[in-house]
Structure 1
Amino acid sequence: MLNRIADRFSKMVEKYLPDAFVIAVLLTLFVFIVAFFMKPAEPISTFKSFGDGFWMYLTFTMQMVLLLMTGMTLAAVPFIQRFLTAVASLAKTANQAYILTFLVSSAAYYINWGLAVVVGAIIAREVGKRNKKAHFPLLVAAAYAPTVTYTAGLSSSIGLSVATKGHFLEEAIGIIPTSETIFHPGTIIILIALVITMPIFIIFMAPKKDIIPFTPKVNEKAKSDIEDAAQSKYPAIRLEKSPILGVLTGLIGFIYIISEFINGRDLDLNIINITFLSLGLIFHQSLFQYAQAFKEAATSISPIILQFPFYAGIIAVLGSSGLAESIINWMASIANKDTFDVFTYWAAGIVNLLAPSGGGQWALQGPLQVAAGAKLGVDHAVTAMAVGWGDGWTNLIQPFWALPILSVVGLHIRHIMGYCILLSIWVGILTTVLLFFVY
């Protein structure tokens, strides 16, 4: 029954879901309308909030872009790509294809969500090439679905943010080590439960007819320029192709990382970025190849660069209009100490639809949620993780972070969103139940 529901729902979504940029603009207009109703006497202030907020998160935007770019560039290392191709050959049936794609992508999301974007795209593409009985849009949905688990991973925006010295809430909550957030036993339990049950749900959604197999991109550009450059005997080209400079630069990064850890520094966004940058420089055969991989990754990142300022503006309007505060305060008012994390999770899921950024959402929601939780005696680490889980949950139905992977595989958001919406229902139910018991 579920596969029939998924098939009909997916076809309906394909007809009516617009492009992700159109969604961003529509959400912008929506928050403006709401803001005008909430503050009818101050219409100009709403425009000012949006304009000021448009540039508010430039530092964070650059951190996120580098996180994604360095992760994607690392995944483009030849031996990593060969490994992923070999792994893809393990799937012999359609069901095995869905499970394998989900599990490989989950492992990548745990390490780094930037890395996971390209790993998920590559594994979905390679599995699709070898298994024509697998429905390719569902394979891509399976590759993207682990986005709900990234908040428990090593690149968790909120988990790393609150562990970083000088974060904006340090005076209120102090520095929260990752042992109390992403490595907390409750976080690990939720992560394991999702990783076990989500691929089963995906299999139940798999269509029995009208299978859409993987179709290679037409006129896919061959990377002949790298081979041509390798044949050149000019000293400048030999310098570009030399692996020594990349290795030396990567080692500088690792020396810095080791010294920071020795001095007691915890994982944070900057450390993750330097780590993946250094690994990429070491593993790529030359600075030329690294620059080429970085350039190719940039094509997939362009929608995020275009849309993030709009969402930053939305976040600013949500804050200035009081809409986000109204949502959070209403849920906090009906919660107690035992249910606060669940209501925080739901509130975060709603806010994330309008502000799809873990760090940006924490900047908006964190101060309000932390203050409300403190009144009830809720641990700040629990509040942070509840917001993080809510952010990850509705990432499934907020198309923003699916853009890079879709760009790599050549699909539109409407091709996978029907499956993602149904998955989000299961994730919401399961995580809500577990939150009552694990923190």
Structure 2
Amino acid sequence: MLTRVADRFSRGIQRYLPDAFVIAVLMTIIVIAVAIFFNSSEPVQVVAAWGDGFWTYLAFTMQMVLLLLTGMVLASVPFIKKGLSAIAQFANTPTKAYLVTFLVAAAAYYINWGLAVVVGAIIAREIGKRNKRAHFPLLIAAAYAPTVLYTAGFSSSIGLTIATEGHFLEETMGVIPTSATIFHPSTIIIFLVLAISIPLFIILMAPKRDISSYEPPSESNQMTFDVPKKESLTPAQKLAYTPVLGMLIGAIGVVYTVGVFLSGRDLDLNLINLFFLSMGLFFHRSLGQFAQAFKQSVGSISPIVLQFPFYAGIIAVLGGSGLGDAIINGMTSVATAETFNVFTYWAAGFINILAPSGGGQWALQGPLQIPAAIELGVDPAMTAMAVGWGDAWTNLIQPFWALPILSVVGLHIRHIMGYCILLSVWVGIITSVLIYFLY
């Protein structure tokens, strides 16, 4: 039954779902219109809030772009690609194909969601090449589905933000170590339950007929490196393609990041970005090859660079007009100490549809949720993680973060969104229950 439902739902979504950029613009117009309706005497101020907020998150945008790019460049290292190809050989049935794709992508998402984008794309592509009985859109959905797990991993934007000294809520909640958030036993339990149940749900959705097998994308979507022959290198090119410089500066970066982490500094976005940048330099060896990988990765994230300011504008309107406060306070005002984090999770999921940015959403939601949590006697660290889980949950139905992986494999958001929406229903139910009993 689930297979039939997923098939019909996917077909309907493919026909009617607009492009992701169109969705971003439509959401912008709708949020501005609703904000003006509730602030009819201040339409100019609402539009001004949007314009002023359009560039508010440039620094955070750069951090997120680097997080994604450094992960993608590291995933394109030849020996990592060869390892993923070797793993793909074990996925010789459709069931194994979906399971292996999900588990490999989930491991990558736990490490770094930027790394996971290319790891998921590569493993799905390699499995799709070898297994023509696997439905390729569902393979890509399986590669993207672990996005709901990233909030419990090393690149959790909220978990790392509140672990960074000087974060904007430090006076209210202090600096919260990752041992109280992403490494807390309750968070680990939620992670494991989702990591086990989601691939089973995906397998149950797998179509038995009308299989769309893998078709190679255009050459522009594939990582290729043009390394000049040694005998034709000029002195300047020799500097670019000698392995000495890349490995040396990469090693310096790795030594620094590992050293400061072992000396007591907690993980934060800047430290992780430098670590993955350094690892990419070291394993690509030459500066020229690293620069080529970086350049080719940039094309895959261009939709994010284009659309992020629009969502930053939405966040500014939600915050400046009071509309965001109304949504969040309306959902949490009826909560008790026992249900507060569940309502926080639901509110975060809804806000994330309008503004898909963990850090930007935390900037909007944190100042409202944390004081309320403290007043009710709820652990603010758990409330922060509830916001993170809500943000990750509706990533499944907000197409923004799926764009890079789709660009790599040459599919459109319409091909996977039907499956992702059904997955979001399951994730929302099971995570709500777990948050209620564990947080």
Q: Scaled by the length of structure 1, what TM-score is found? A: 0.98
Equivalent residue runs for 1:414-425 within 5 Å = 414-425=414-425
Q: Does 1:78 align with 2:78?
A: yes
Aligned-partner Cα distance in 1 for 2:223–2:112: 26
Moved more, 218-227 or 253-262: 218-227
Match of 1:381 in 2: 381
From the superposition, tell whether residues 223 and 410 of structure 1 become closer, same or farther in structure 2 (CA, over 3 Å): closer
- Does the C-alpha gap of structure 1 residues 212 and 65 become closer, same or farther in structure 2, counting only changes over 3 Å? same
Matched, 1:24 2:50: no
Q: Is the 8 A contact 2:221 2:410 kept in 1?
A: no
User: Contact 1:70–1:115 at 8 Å: present in 2 too?
Assistant: yes
Aligned equivalents of 2:32 and 2:313: distance in 1? 10
- In structure 1, the partner of 2:275 is 275
User: Structure 2 vs 1, CA of residues 289 and 47 (structure 1 numbering), >3 Å: closer, same or farther?
Assistant: same
- Equivalent residue, structure 2, for 1:104: 104
User: Which residue of the partner structure matches residue 392 of structure 1?
Assistant: 392
**Equivalent residues of 1:148, 1:392 under 8 A apart:** yes
Deviation at 1:219, TM superposition (A): 5.0
Q: Is residue 109–residue 150 contact of structure 2 (8 Å, CA) maintained in 1?
A: yes
* Aligned-partner Cα distance in 2 for 1:356–1:63: 15
Q: Residue 260 of structure 1 aligns with which residue? A: 260
Question: What percentage of residue pairs aligned between the two structures are identical?
Answer: 67
CA–CA separation in structure 1 for the residues paired with 2:390 and 2:229 = 48
Q: Secondary structure at 1:305's aligned position in 2?
A: helix
Aligned runs of 1:54-93 on 2, under 5 Å?
54-93=54-93
- Cα distance in structure 1, aligned partners of 2:253 and 2:190: 34
Decide whether the 8 Å contact of 2:217 with 2:410 is kept in 1.
yes
- Per-residue deviation, 1:234: 1.8
Q: Which amino acid aligns with 2:215?
A: T
Sort the Cα spacing of 1:230 and 1:169 in 2 relative to 1 into closer, same or farther, 3 A: farther
Deviations 1:15-39 (A, max 9, x none): 0000000000000001011111111
Deviates most, 236-245 or 16-25:
236-245
C-alpha displacement at 1:264, in angstroms?
A: 2.1
What amino acid does structure 1 have at the position aligned with 2:89? S
Q: Which residue of 1 aligns with 2:360?
A: 360
The answer to whether residue 29 in structure 2 is matched with residue 42 in structure 1 is no
Change (3 A) 1:132 1:395: same
Match of 2:238 in 1: 238
Cα distance in 2 for partners of 1:152, 1:295 equals 30
Tell me, in whole angstroms, the C-alpha distance in 1 between the residues paired with 2:297 and 2:376. Answer: 45
Question: Which position in structure 1 is the counterpart of 2:214?
Answer: 214
In structure 2, the partner of 1:127 is 127
Q: Is the 8 A contact 1:109 1:146 kept in 2?
A: yes
Distance 1:124 1:388 in 2: 27
State the match for 1:303 in structure 2.
303
CA shift in 2, pair 1:266/1:9, >3 Å = same
Q: Which residue of 2 aligns with 1:407?
A: 407
**What is the CA–CA distance in structure 1 between the aligned matches of 2:222 and 2:119, rounded to whole Å?**
20
Which 10-residue stretch deviates more, 217-226 or 327-336? 217-226
Residue 228 of structure 1 aligns to a residue whose secondary structure is coil
Q: Does 1:324 align with 2:324?
A: yes
1:209 is displaced (CA, Å) by: 0.8
Residue 159 of structure 2 corresponds to which residue in structure 1?
Answer: 159
**Displacement of 1:256 after TM fit?**
2.3
What's the CA shift string for 1:144-186, capped at 9, x where partnerless? 0000000000000000000001111111110000000000000
1 CA distance for matches of 2:40 and 2:222?
Answer: 57
Shift of 1:322: 1.1
Deviations for 1:227-256, whole angstroms, at most 9, x for unmatched residues?
A: 435452322111111111111111221232
Q: Matched residues in 1 for 2:149 and 2:223: separation?
A: 34
Count of matched residue pairs = 439
Instruction: Classify 1:60/1:219 alpha carbon distance in 2 versus 1 (closer, same or farther; 3 Å).
Output: closer
Following the alignment from structure 2 to structure 1, what is the Cα–Cα distance between the partners of residues 281 and 17?
Answer: 40
Per-residue deviation at 1:327? 1.2
Once the two structures are superposed, residues 106-125 of structure 1 have per-residue CA deviations (whole angstroms, 9 ceiling, x without a partner) of 00000000000000000111
| Contact residue 229 and residue 237 of structure 1 kept, 8 A | no
Partner AA of 2:365 in structure 1: Q
| CA shift for structure 1 position 223 | 7.3
* Unmatched 5+ stretches in structure 2: none
Q: What CA distance in whole angstroms lies between the structure 2 residues aligned with 1:5 and 1:47? A: 42
Aligned-partner Cα distance in 2 for 1:370–1:10 = 38
Residues in 2 aligned to 1:290 and 1:219: alpha-carbon distance in whole angstroms? 19
Deviations 1:208-235 (A, max 9, x none): 1110000012455887762435452322
Q: Separation in 1 of the partners of 2:201 and 2:354? A: 27
Deviations 1:257-286 (A, max 9, x none): 234224421000001000000100100031
2:226 partner SS? helix
What secondary structure does 1:279 align onto? helix
How has the CA–CA distance of structure 1 residues 260 and 61 changed in structure 2, closer, same or farther, with 3 Å as cutoff? Answer: same
Q: Residue 322 of structure 2 aligns to which amino acid in structure 1?
A: G
Give the equivalent residue in structure 1 for 2:199. Answer: 199
**1:397 touches 1:420 (CA, 8 Å); kept in 2?**
yes
Q: Distance in 2 between matches of 1:88 and 1:105?
A: 12
Once the two structures are superposed, residues 1-58 of structure 1 have per-residue CA deviations (whole angstroms, 9 ceiling, x without a partner) of: 0000000000000000000000000000010111111110011111111111111000
Distance 1:261 1:17 in 2: 44
Contact conserved, 2:225 with 2:292, CA < 8 A, in 1? no
Query: In structure 1, what is the equivalent of residue 291 of structure 2?
Result: 291
1:288 maps to a residue whose letter is G
Task: Provide the rounded CA distance (Å) in 1 between the counterparts of 2:43 and 2:137.
Answer: 43
Q: 1:227 to 1:188 in 2, by over 3 A?
A: same
The CA distance in 2 between the partners of 1:230 and 1:162, in whole Å, is 49
Q: TM-score, normalised by structure 2?
A: 0.98
**RMSD of aligned Cα (Å):** 1.3
